[in-house]
Amino acid sequence: YEKYAPAEAKVFDFCGGYGGRLLGALVNKKVASYTAMEVNYKSYAGLTDLHKQVELVGKVSKKVVIFNQDSLKGMKQFSDKEFDLCFTSPPYFDAEDYDDSPAQSSKTFPMYGEWMDKYLLPCVLEASRISKTVLINIANTGPYPIADDLRKEMQKANMLISEDKLI
């Protein structure tokens, strides 16, 4: 957030996950609001609880909206460039199995290529529509070259502007 968010940033996260990005947004002075999508109900409930606890204990009050819904469908409700920054870490196909729900992206699209073409790429493109800047935290995991494949697709679409690698 400190490097990429403008002052008073409206932040979006299409895969809310376990709460690290939410927590970072809550404590960063540049972030004015945080909106997330999280399809897994337990993770959604955890994010909601984390927000309440930080607000109560840390006396941090920011606008936070967390939707318990599919990210690709949920992003359709937002206007073009409604957010200053999208910062997310999508699931690593089936390497992160949050639950057995058919709503999980790897359950909806059980083949890696299908998941990439029908879930991850469309999510990144939709996030690019609703956000001025999009940051994706992703890596190659096990047999899946997720980061390499996403990089190639973003280059094809002339969308990859910069890449930071953490060692």
86-99 core/surface letters (b: 16 or more CB in 10 A; e: else): bbbbbbbbbebebe
Q: Distance from CA of residue 59 to its chain's centroid? A: 25
Q: Residue 97: its pLDDT value, please? A: 65
Dihedral (CA of 83, 60, 44, 25) sign: positive
Whole-angstrom CA distances from 74 to 2, 39, 70, 77, 78 are: 27, 10, 6, 6, 8
Q: Residue 108: its pLDDT value, please? A: 77
Is-contact 84 132, C-beta < 8 A? yes
Q: Residue 159: its pLDDT value, please? A: 80
Report mean pLDDT in 10-residue bins for the chain, 167 residues.
95 94 94 96 93 82 93 96 95 73 74 91 95 92 90 85 70
Q: Residue 22: its pLDDT value, please? A: 96
Q: Residue 54: its pLDDT value, please? A: 87
Whether the model pTM is above 0.85? yes
Q: Distance from CA of residue 49 to its chain's centroid? A: 18
Q: Which helix (H) or strand (E) holds 123?
A: helix 121-130
Q: Residue 164: its pLDDT value, please? A: 78
Is-contact 100 111, C-beta < 8 A? no
Q: Residue 98: its pLDDT value, please? A: 67
**Total residues found in the chain within this entry:** 167
Q: Residue 95: its pLDDT value, please? A: 72
Q: Residue 102: its pLDDT value, please? A: 72
